Structure formats: structure tokens, C-alpha cells
Chains A and B, each alone.
Chain A
Amino acid sequence: MAEALVDALMQVLTPMSLLMMVIGVALGFVVGILPGLGGAVTLALLLPFTFDMDPVPAFALLLGMYVVAATAGDITSVLFGIPGEASSAAVVLDGYPMTRRGRAGRALGAVLTSSGMGALFGALVLVLLIPVIRPVIMNIAEPEFFALAVLGLTFVVTLSSGKMLKGALACIVGLLVSLVGLDPFTSQQRFTFGSMDLWDGISIVPVVIGLFGGAEVLQLMMQKRSVASRQAGTPAVSGVGAGIRDALKRWPLATRSGAIGSGLSLVPGMGGSVAQFVAYGHAKSVSKKPEEFGKGSVEGVIAAGATGVAKDCGSLIPTVAFGIPGSASSAVLLSAFLILGLDPGKEMLTTELDVTMSFVWIALFATVIAIGVALALVRPLAKLTHISGPLLVPFLMLLLSIGAFAENNAWTDVFLMLVFVAIGVACIRWDWPRVPLLLGFVLGAVLESNLFLSGQLFGAGWITRPVVIGVGVVIAAVLVMHFVREARTRQRKTSVKKAVAETAERDPADPVLTTTAPGESPDVSEGDKR
């Protein structure tokens, strides 16, 4: 193993491999920053260039691009609220509010550093798991996939920010949207309204871009000022070091999020979009300041950022070990294996182990180079958020439309994106959480197909499988923890209100001063305002 690692390092450090990696990193930056240009599409476009290459330089180009796209996608999520990659959507939730508060530098510092920490963790997982993963994966079947998807849905309760009923409804709407298209088992049309364009279902890109990016662009058009708040008073470019320190100080959170990213991506079909929200939900459920999530919590940024590269490393494991791709991008990578004459499976773990180990070095080096470049560019990048809003509007409108169009080259996606812009704006206007809708959308197909197959393959007994029971216990623990926390918060608020009322009764003439933590309802003060 150690010998293979050293061999792999030597192969990665050849001039050809390094050159390919630099090209891959540069392309990954462009692809990551431009919304809609997914890693899978670009990987497919790059495949023809690898026909005559040796395996290691070829993967230096492909993997270099692939892992950097995830990191670079976080940059637009933080700066403009438009996720460069679908798997960067969770970074928007706190990264963009930080930018609007004038803390773009700090948010970028935190997300880039946590992304690096996640990459390190993911690479470590790759090294450690590749030799032993086979029996583990063989024990995971449809019932376990279903249980994991339910675990993902459980985080709706923590992601709904005190609006659980609305969150659950939004999640169900997301589940219904995910069912649009042909039923996978009977090929019957469901919710397609007779449109053939919807037979393949709705892709995640127009949903993410519409729900999050569209609303932000409309906001900019209405308020006609820069993205970052002038009132915040803090220069956007400051705080990069603080962001890096935030991430380093919270290494356990970054590591746990990296573990969630790698772990869930091991499961084919779960994908990075789920992992980021599960990590985000986990961070919120264990945070001492959960009320800050969604308003610019650095913990939220770190948790979402750390899953970026870690999930890519995780999804490589089933691809390499079994030839089972964990995501669309790893399916394209799988075809690269075949083009380069490599046979995923036993061969990759024995005779070609050095090629497999080169993935570890490529993922690490590419991420380090990307983070170095991005940190060097933080100052000019963060300055973009102080450019006048109207100047950015044409650029962002074009990005929205290209982003929605690019994945399938279809106008239908642009129209769908507009529908989700309307839904996103309505959610903000009438205080409905948007994230549960997205989570329901991402998990809908996984839930349905695995529930059906569990019943077909294992009968009712699937529910007693050990991993299913284990995940069930985790789900119960998450729910109990959440409700206990909610009860405590309610109790605290009630006692604050009582204290205010008592003070007021004692001296009704004078207004009193009370303190409220950020995020707490300020309703006690609003009688005065009216």
C-alpha cells in the first residue's frame, strides 16, 4: 500500500501530469464559477482529449477539473447567491447572508479552508477504505438506501428554522416535483401535463438556480444597491484570515461534515446534493447558536464547504472498486477508465493500485492549488460584491439563463427555472423555507425507487435489517434532540417575555431595555414601533 502511494506520487509529479493538472484546475475554476456547466458535462467534453494519454496524466486532467469545480462553485454561492454547481447550493444559505453583511472575505476564507480540510479527509478516506470497502458496500442494499434517504429527510425539521409545518409541506412539494416524468417501473407519465419535455423529469440545475439565484437577482433589481451591505461598515475584503481561522478552529465540524460527504457519496445515487444538506442540518442540530443558521453562520458555511471535495472522493470509491458510479460525474469518469484500458474492480485494487492511489494525490494537489489561487484572488473577488447592483444585473441575468439552459440545452429548463424563481420569491415573501423543498426534490426519486425495491426484494422483513435499525435509531436521536432544543428555546423566550411584562407593569411610563439574541423574535418591542 505504502509502496503504491509513493509510486503514485512519483507519477503525479511528472511534468506531463502536473501540466495536465494545472489545465484541469484552470478549467475547473471556469466550470465551477459558471452556473449550470456541471462537472459531468465538462468531463464528457474532455474525454476525447485523453484518448492517447497515459492513465495518470489523463486522470490529472479529468480529476483536477472535477474536484476544483466543486470548490470554485462555492465562490459564486458566497458572492452572488447563485450556486456554481448544484452541490454548492447549501453554501448559499449562510455564505450569501455573510456577504450581504459585508463579510464576503471571511465567508470565502472559511469555505475555501473547510473545502481543503474536507479534501484532506476525503483523500484519507479514499486511501483507507479502498482495500476494505468491498464487504461494506456489499451489505448495503435498497432498504439501507431508503433508510439513509429518510435520514436525509429528517433534517427538514432542523432546516425549517421554527417553521416545521411549512417546512414539511415544502418538502412534500419537492417530493412531488421529483416525481414529474415517466414512472421508472411502469413508464407511465406522472404530472407531465402531456408535455414530452417533462418525460425525463426535472433536472436539479433549474430548480437550484431558480429557487436561490433568481430570487437574489430580483432582490438586486429592486433595491438597486450592491450585494454587500454598505451599512455593515466592514470592508468586504477583510476577514479572510478570520475565515481561515474559523475553519481551522472548528476542525471537528469540518471533519464530521467531510465524513458525511464521503460517507453518503459512497452510496450510489445519494450524490453530493444530499450530502451537503445532511452535513448542514447536522451542523445546525449540534450548534450552540442554531438561530444564526440562514442569517450568516460561519458554521453553516464550514459544514457545507467541507462536503465539496470530500463527496467527490467518496463517490470515487464505488466507481473504482466495483465499477458502480456514485453520481453522474463518476459515471463519466467510469467511461474514462474504459477508454484508458482500465478495468474497475479487482484490478484497480491490485495491479493498478498505483493508478488508484494517484487519484488521492491528484485530488489533494488540485484542491491545494485551487484554494491557493482562490485565496490569492479573494480580494478582487470580494470587491465584486461592492459593485453597484444595477451594473451586475445584466451579467447575473445572463448567467441565470445560461445556467438553466446549459445542462440539457433545452428551453424547457429556462421556463422551469422561471417557475422556481417565482416559487423562491413567494417563499421569501411569505416566510416559507426553501431548503426543505430542495431536499424533498433531491431525495424523492431515491425514496420511491428504494422503497418499492425493498418491498419487492425483501418483503416486509427489510425493516428489521441491522443497518436499517441503526439508521432508524439515528433518526430518532436527531428528532428527539431537535424537539428538546425547541422546547428549551420556547421556555427561554417565554421567561424573557414574562420578565419584560413584569418590568412594564412596575413602571408602565418608561420604555425598558431588554436584550435579545440575534434571531429571536423581536415581537415584544413592536407594540412600541406602532
Chain B
Amino acid sequence: MRTNPVTPTVTAARPRRVLVADLVGGLLMVGIMVGAYVMTRSLSPQAAEFPAAISIAGAALGVVLVIRALIGTREAPHDHSETEDDDLDYVFHTASTMQWLATLAWFIAFFASLYVLGLYATSMLFTVLYLRFQDKRSWVFSGIYAVILTGVLYLAFNVLLVQPVPAGYFGLA
């Protein structure tokens, strides 16, 4: 249980507001479901029966979501910047554009490197650069950490488990 300071704001007094995110989500769902239904038209009746049925049901529910979003709500939006007692709110609600761009750049760089250089080279390169520039660690610390991490991965997957790992474009891993 927690205590919240409350002012005399009465929910009923607020004007209705359209739920834009739900409206977009609902339209997207209707689009996906209609697209899925159209794709089933080229299948034989037997193969199309089940996917067609669920895509029609999905389109109908999507329309309901769109209507609900348009009718809107009088409730105030949840303020994700207030952590209250639960800090489980994801940072995705509050992150700035710069945070998003930086994170996505690192994320994409990792997988691009994995695709080109393979697992072990990416492990070394990404670990050193990420720790050096994102965590402001020293070059020495980042290097030692990268060597240990890559060594452990190599031991686990190549020596102990003999398990294939993602090889890069040049077949490096």
C-alpha cells in the first residue's frame, strides 16, 4: 500500500481525449489482419480456412480497438516520469530521442558487425568500444574485459560444447 497526494480533480469533469497510440495500434492491426486475409485468398480452401478465420476475427477486434480509441477516455494518461513505488516502468516511456538514437546505433552496430565479422571478432570489438565510449572505462580495462569475455565464450562454445556460433560474412567465427 502506498499513499498518494490527491487534489480535487474529478475524472468526470475532464474532457474526453482520443487515445492516439491505441488508434494507430488498432489501424495497424486492421492493416495486418486484412493483409493476412488477402494472402490467404491465394491458398487452397483447406490451407486458407484457419488463417482466414483468425484474420477476420483479428480485423474485427482491430476495428473495435479503433472505435474505442476514437471514443477516447476521461482518465488522465499514466505519467511514466513519476516512479511512485514501482520503478519497473520501462525507460522506453521516458527516454529522449538522443537516448534512443544512441542505443539503437550501438544495437545496430553490434548486429552489423556480427553479420560481417562473426561472433568472436565482434565480441572483442564491441566490448572494447562499448565500455570505452559508453561506460567511460579505460582502454586497458576494456581490453582485458573483452579478452576474458571472448575467451570464456570460445571455451564454452568451441571447446566444451562444440556448438556452431554465428560466423561472419567472411566465415571468421
A residues adjacent to B (C-beta < 8 A): 30, 34, 37, 42, 45, 97, 100-101, 165-166, 168-169, 172-173, 175-176, 179, 183, 185-186, 188, 190-191, 215, 218-219, 221-224, 229, 231-232, 295-296, 388, 390-391, 393-395, 397-398, 401-402, 405-406, 409, 411, 414, 418, 425, 428-432, 447-448, 451-452, 497, 500-501, 504-505, 508, 511-518, 521-530
Contact = CB atoms under 8 A, between A and B. Distances in A.
Given A188-B47, A425-B92, A516-B1, 18 more contacts: A30-B161, A101-B87, A169-B61, A185-B47, A218-B107, A397-B126, A398-B149, A398-B153, A401-B119, A405-B165, A409-B164, A414-B114, A414-B166, A514-B3, A514-B6, A517-B1, A522-B78, A529-B82
Contacts of B107: 218, 221, 397
Interface string B124-163: 0011001100110000000001100100010011001111
Contact of A518 (B1, B10, B163): B1
Interface in B106-133: 106-107, 110-111, 114-115, 119, 122-123, 126-127, 130-131
Given A100-B88, A190-B51, A219-B92, A501 B8 contact: yes
A219 B103 CA distance: 9
Interface of B: 1-12, 21-22, 25, 29, 32-33, 36, 39-40, 43-44, 46-47, 49-51, 54-55, 57-58, 61-62, 64-65, 68, 75-79, 82-88, 90-93, 95, 99-100, 103, 106-107, 110-111, 114-115, 119, 122-123, 126-127, 130-131, 134-135, 145-146, 149, 153, 156-157, 160-166
B113 to A, nearest CB: 10
A423 B90 CA distance: 15
Main secondary structure of the interface of B (DSSP, over half): helix
A223 B91 contact: yes
B50 A37 contact: no
Contact of B4 (A185, A223, A513): A513
B137 to A, nearest CB: 8
A522 B55 contact: no
Nearest to A445: B50
A218 to B, nearest CB: 6
A523 B7 contact: no
Contacts of B85: 518
B127 A394 contact: yes
B5 A528 contact: yes
A24 to B, nearest CB: 14
Which one of B21, B51, B157 has the highest number of Cβ atoms from chain A below 10 Å of its Cβ? B51
Contacts of B92: 215, 218-219, 222, 425, 428-429
B2 A516 contact: yes
Contact of A515 (B3, B87, B90, B99): B3
A527 to B, nearest CB: 3
Contacts of B39: 190-191
Contacts of B90: 215, 219, 428-429
A451 B82 contact: no
A223 B62 CA distance: 33
A411 B75 contact: no
B166 to A, nearest CB: 5
Nearest to B68: A165
Contacts of A517: 1
Q: Among A391, A428, A511, A530, which residue has the most Cβ atoms of chain B within 10 A?
A: A391
A-B pairs, top 6 by smallest CB distance, nearest first, are: A527-B9, A504-B8, A390-B135, A172-B58, A528-B7, A525-B4
Contacts of B51: 176, 179, 190-191
6 contacts: A172-B54, A390-B130, A401-B166, A406-B163, A430-B25, A504-B9
Given A429-B92, A528-B9, A176 B2 contact: no
A511 B5 contact: yes
Interface centre among B54, B61, B75, B130 (most CB of A within 10 A): B54
Nearest to B4: A525
A149 to B, nearest CB: 12
A388 B135 contact: yes
Contact of B10 (A215, A388, A390, A504): A504
Contacts of A34: 156
Nearest to B11: A497
Contacts of B111: 401, 414, 418
